[in-house]
Chains A and B, each alone.
Chain A
Amino acid sequence: MSEYLVQFNNISKFFGKVIALKDVTMRLRKGEIMCLLGDNGAGKSTLIKTLAGVHKPDEGEIIFEDKKIIFDSPRDALDIGIGTVYQDLALVSLMSVTRNFFMGREPQKGIPFFKTFDVEKANKIAAERMGQIGIDVRDPSQAVGTMSGGERQCLAISRAIYFGAKVLVLDEPTSALGVHQASMVLKYIVKAASEGLAVILITHNVHHAYPVGNSFTVLNRGRSMGTFQKKDISREKLLSMMAGGEELDKLEVELKEMDRVART
């Protein structure tokens, strides 16, 4: 058995003429939190969607527990314990909290052919799980469309945590969260990793990524700029690799300049 739980080997993905990914390699161990970083359009979401079963890679292979895997649908990925929080959350706003939480994986009760959706059990689990990351579900039959953006994000996260038994993939899970909820979620991610899950975390916020991440992969225009262990890279170096550092410095200078011009 190799030391890695998940290996992306030379993954490429093309959408028509667009090269979304080219020769991307990334490897994760059990208990590791891998932060996937990069500009808008760098290919982060596309890469994790190949692991979630949404896209089939055009080149390269994904190895999971030493076996090459080919997913026909996201269902296959969920079946082997890969839980994903999509950037667009994959929630149906007309449906209730509970119905969304268990969408596709509803608990059932009763005799064969007359099995029913066990709503009480589902309500209980959904409320309990969301409570654990600090969201008090007022009413599990509330339509998701009436929830706040952060509440929705927490619903998607707790769902992925509940169903992701081996790998947890989070695509910008903290973008709409307040400081309190964001730190709850990050704490939860660390806890999940300490229990042996492999975690892939996509974020644009280096202050979220750096404290929790063990290693960092930076994508740029569909290519990997390499994977770095935390000990090998400083927060500042990482920030500038995310093409953020210099630009923020420049921005500060420009703002000062504008301020000066406005005053004179």
Chain B
Amino acid sequence: MSVKSQSIQSKKQTGQDERLKKISPLRVLLNRPELGALGGSILVFIFFGIVAGDTGMFSAYGALNFLDVSANLGIIAIAAAMLMIGGEFDLSIGSMIGFAGICIAIPAIYWGWPLWMSITFAFAMAVLIGYFNGIMVVRTGLPSFIVTLAMLFILRGATLAITRLITGRTQVPGLRVLIEDDPIAWIFATDTFQWLFTWLGKMKLIALRTDGTPLATGIPPSVIWFIALTLFATWILMKTRYGNWIFASGGDKVGATNVGVPVGRVKISLFIGTAVASTIFACIQVLDAGSADTMRGTLKELEAIAAAVVGGCLLTGGYGSAIGAALGAIIFGTVSMGIFYTDVDTDWFKVFLGAMMLIAVVFNNYIRRKVTENK
């Protein structure tokens, strides 16, 4: 009796349920999907800080380099992560990148379209292809793995065939001159904060070229896109109704449908999301290189999925985060560039990528069991 009244009293005093153990901030963090990726990226930075700290990897130029690689991967990894949370895969990301590239280049170079029009055309194609992937998966109930694997071959094949048919080659160069004066292209092709780098150069704080201009000229567009997309995706997932629908669709399709979540529409929109992200990736790379290559983006779908998995996404859907995928991309980008600054043979990068994924999957599986099972 005294025990009971005591517990009731304690409830009154603290306004909290007496069965609720105080959860430490650490425990809250442990339940977040991006925890593993956060730990991983800290380890990676410590490692290269020690091994390659004095090689120029962490100079402004070096850092922007590995950030650029991470950011490019991150753009597609975030979209892949959202789709995975929604319970599906997209294996056609890499082929979509190649296809979007020629959708920009061929009309601009061979048909004389203004660049903005061909960029718009590429995005329109992306929406169509994403919609097609989505509707196929939703209507047929086939695994997205199969549907998008088919799309992987179709798009890559079409990219090669169309390019060779029209140009007789597998590359379409000559885009760089079109970027200037274009009303849209700058969105994907401008280095920002150039004044900052010029100033830093003047102050002799960062490395200069022989002509006195700084070696690193500004933040590359990929990094800005990457940051913006991470924030946008996180906002959607955590703060909006649509975000709740994404988790619900991936967590339990039937249950979600039965309580009124438009699961089909959610999934289709996520497939459009991955195709559009691939096109953003393609725009940035094509305008940066000044040419489209039919093989661009090869195997990128697997890297994007790997980054999402390292970032805490469950392969079965319903769990994951955009920040986690962003961190996963940073891990891969940093290691793939950092390895150049060490004595390690770059061939080992793929070994690392695989090992990292395995560890992540084992870790995620453990977390999932902890979260879903009634202890």
**A residues near B257, Cβ cutoff 8 Å:** 54, 73-74
CB distance from A155 to the nearest CB of B (A): 12
Distance in angstroms between the alpha carbons of A143 and B17 in the assembled complex: 17
**B15: interface (CB < 8 Å):** no
Distance in angstroms between the alpha carbons of A116 and B237 in the assembled complex: 10
Q: Is the CB of A116 within 8 A of B239?
A: yes
**A residues near B17, Cβ cutoff 8 Å:** 136, 138
CB distance from B18 to the nearest CB of A (A): 10
**Which A residue sits closest to B258, measured CB to CB?**
A90
**B residues near A73, Cβ cutoff 8 Å:** 257, 260, 262
Q: Is the CB of A86 within 8 A of B19?
A: no
CB distance from A126 to the nearest CB of B (A): 13
Number of contact residues on B: which range applies?
Answer: 20 to 34
**B374: interface (CB < 8 Å):** yes
CB distance from A13 to the nearest CB of B (A): 16
**A115: interface (CB < 8 Å):** yes
Distance in angstroms between the alpha carbons of A84 and B260 in the assembled complex: 11
Distance in angstroms between the alpha carbons of A111 and B254 in the assembled complex: 31
Q: Is the CB of B244 within 8 A of A146?
A: no
Q: Is the CB of A94 within 8 A of B259?
A: no
Q: Name the segment of B39-47, B197-205, B215-223, B245-253 touching the other chain.
A: B245-253
Distance in angstroms between the alpha carbons of A159 and B241 in the assembled complex: 17
Q: Name the segment of A4-12, A96-104, A253-261 touching the other chain.
A: A96-104
**B261: interface (CB < 8 Å):** yes
**B residues near A63, Cβ cutoff 8 Å:** none
**Which A residue sits closest to B21, measured CB to CB?**
A138
Q: Which of A75, A94, A138, A146 makes the CB contact (< 8 A) with B262?
A: A75
**B residues near A103, Cβ cutoff 8 Å:** 244, 248, 256, 259-261
Q: Is the CB of B375 within 8 A of A95?
A: no
Q: Is the CB of B372 within 8 A of A94?
A: yes
Task: Give per-residue flags for A37-55: 1 if the beta carbon is below 8 A from chain B beta carbons, else 0.
Answer: 0000000000000001010
**A243: interface (CB < 8 Å):** no
Q: Which of B240, B254, B374 makes the CB contact (< 8 A) with A115?
A: B240
CB distance from B165 to the nearest CB of A (A): 42
Interface residue tally for chain A (C-beta within 8 Å): 37
**B157: interface (CB < 8 Å):** no
Task: Give per-residue flags for B23-45: 1 if the beta carbon is below 8 A from chain A beta carbons, else 0.
Answer: 10000000000000000000000
Q: Which of B239, B247, B259 makes the CB contact (< 8 A) with A90?
A: B259
Q: Is the CB of B252 within 8 A of A145?
A: no
Q: Which of A89, A91, A115 makes the CB contact (< 8 A) with B241?
A: A115
CB distance from B11 to the nearest CB of A (A): 10
Q: Is the CB of A106 within 8 A of B241?
A: yes
Q: Is the CB of A91 within 8 A of B260?
A: no
Q: Is the CB of B258 within 8 A of A74?
A: yes
**B338: interface (CB < 8 Å):** no
B357-375, CB < 8 A from A: 368, 371-375
**A105: interface (CB < 8 Å):** yes
Distance in angstroms between the alpha carbons of A102 and B261 in the assembled complex: 10
**B residues near A116, Cβ cutoff 8 Å:** 239-240
Task: Give per-residue flags for A77-99: 1 if the beta carbon is below 8 A from chain B beta carbons, else 0.
Answer: 01100001010111111110001
**A139: interface (CB < 8 Å):** yes
**B20: interface (CB < 8 Å):** yes
Q: Is the CB of A146 within 8 A of B241?
A: no
Q: Which of A74, A86, A115, A139 makes the CB contact (< 8 A) with B260?
A: A74
**A132: interface (CB < 8 Å):** no
Distance in angstroms between the alpha carbons of A149 and B374 in the assembled complex: 9
**B residues near A78, Cβ cutoff 8 Å:** 259-260
**A residues near B243, Cβ cutoff 8 Å:** 117
**B273: interface (CB < 8 Å):** no
**B319: interface (CB < 8 Å):** yes
Distance in angstroms between the alpha carbons of A66 and B20 in the assembled complex: 49
Q: Is the CB of B373 within 8 A of A146?
A: yes
Interface centre among A79, A103, A139 (most CB of B within 10 A): A103
Q: Is the CB of A138 within 8 A of B19?
A: yes
Q: Which of A86, A136, A146 makes the CB contact (< 8 A) with B258?
A: A86
Known: A88-B255, A104-B248, A145-B372. A95 touches B260 (CB 8 A): no
**A148: interface (CB < 8 Å):** yes
Q: Is the CB of A146 within 8 A of B260?
A: no
**B324: interface (CB < 8 Å):** no
A114-144, CB < 8 A from B: 115-117, 136, 138-139, 143
**Which B residue sits closest to A105, measured CB to CB?**
B260
**A residues near B94, Cβ cutoff 8 Å:** none
**A69: interface (CB < 8 Å):** no
**A residues near B259, Cβ cutoff 8 Å:** 74, 78, 90, 103-105, 159
**B101: interface (CB < 8 Å):** no
Q: Is the CB of B262 within 8 A of A95?
A: no
Q: Is the CB of A91 within 8 A of B258?
A: no
Q: Is the CB of B255 within 8 A of A94?
A: no
**B333: interface (CB < 8 Å):** no
Q: Which of A91, A106, A145 makes the CB contact (< 8 A) with B373?
A: A145
**Which A residue sits closest to B235, measured CB to CB?**
A116
Q: Is the CB of A147 within 8 A of B374?
A: yes
Known: A84-B258, A147-B374. A94 touches B319 (CB 8 A): yes
Instruction: Spell out A's residues near B (CB within 8 Å).
Output: 52, 54, 73-75, 78-79, 84, 86, 88-95, 99, 102-106, 108, 115-117, 136, 138-139, 143, 145-149, 159
* Known contacts A86-B255, A91-B255, then 4 further A-B pairs from the complex at CB < 8 Å, ordered by chain A residue: A75-B261, A92-B251, A117-B244, A149-B374
Q: Which 8 A-B pairs have the closest CB atoms?
A: A104-B260, A92-B251, A145-B372, A90-B255, A75-B260, A106-B241, A104-B261, A90-B258
